[in-house]
Amino acid sequence: MIGNTTPPKGVKIAPSELSDEAKKIARDYEGLDRHGRNMTKIVITEEQKRMAEERRRRETGEAEPRGTRIIPLYYTPAAAGMTSPAVGEDFDYIEISNDAPRNADFAVKIDGDSMEPYIMDGSIVYVNREPLENGDVGIFYVDGDMLCKQYYKDDAGNVRLLSLNRARHDADRFISARSDDTILTYYGRVILPRRPLISWA
């Protein structure tokens, strides 16, 4: 049986002891701007809380709560990207039932018609932090704007963020793989019943 490899409190791990994956993550973190680093810290903190709660339940034999649970609801996609959103102004905690997707990490209220008819103006979508695949809809930060768009990345590394409402193709974004100036940050995958077809015609 493999035991817990977490070092005791106060013990530091030398860089040579880190796995290749951990070293890559550290390099990626160093390459982020201030906003990206803050968001990374938020995700790490939330995951540590979740793991601590799961560990506590296992140790105490407490059953996982059934019926409802609490997640954040952000009133705009922009609020979901804030480092320190204000409760009551930018977001609130809401209680959701088992009818909601079990893998939802948070919810976002969508403003605008660019994702209709899949996501209507003013509707609330559930979002998780799972990796994106081509065709998935996600919440993104692009050069100061928070967007809800369909994701497509081609073999050359270029990224298209597409409006599902093709009458609003003017709201599409194209991020070249060669661009050093554009900042693209991914915050979560919108949970939909099915993946929409990809089209930028």
Q: What is the pLDDT of residues 131-179, one digit of tens each?
A: 999 999 999 999 888 899 999 999 999 999 999 999 999 999 999 998 8
Confidence at residue 132, expressed as pLDDT on a 0 to 100 scale: 93
Confidence at residue 110, expressed as pLDDT on a 0 to 100 scale: 92
- Residue 184 confidence (pLDDT) above 50: yes
- Residue 91 confidence (pLDDT) above 90: no
The tens digit of pLDDT for each residue in 1-27 reads 334 444 444 434 455 567 878 888 888
Sheet hosting strand 68-74, strand order edge to edge? 91-97, 68-74, 106-109, 124-128, 184-190, 137-142, 145-153, 159-162, 173-175
3-class SS at 42? Answer: helix
**What's the angle, vertex CA 29, arms to CA 28 and CA 33, rounded to 5?**
110
pTM (2 d.p.): 0.64
- Go through 14-23 and write b for each residue having 16 or more CB atoms within 10 A of its CB, e for each that does not: eeeeeeeeee
- With bands split at pLDDT 50, 70 and 90, how would you rate the model's confidence at 66? low
Counting residues of the chain whose pLDDT is more than 90, the rounded percentage is 37
Nearest to 75 by CA among 109, 50, 99: 109
For the chain, strand residue ranges (E) read 68-74, 91-97, 106-109, 124-128, 137-142, 145-153, 159-162, 173-175, 184-190
Average pLDDT, the chain: 82
**Per-residue DSSP letter, 118:** T
Counting residues of the chain whose pLDDT is more than 70, the rounded percentage is 83
Do the beta carbons of residue 171 and residue 145 sit within 8 Å?
Answer: no
- With bands split at pLDDT 50, 70 and 90, how would you rate the model's confidence at 65? low
Least-confidence region, from 64-68, 71-75, 142-146: 64-68
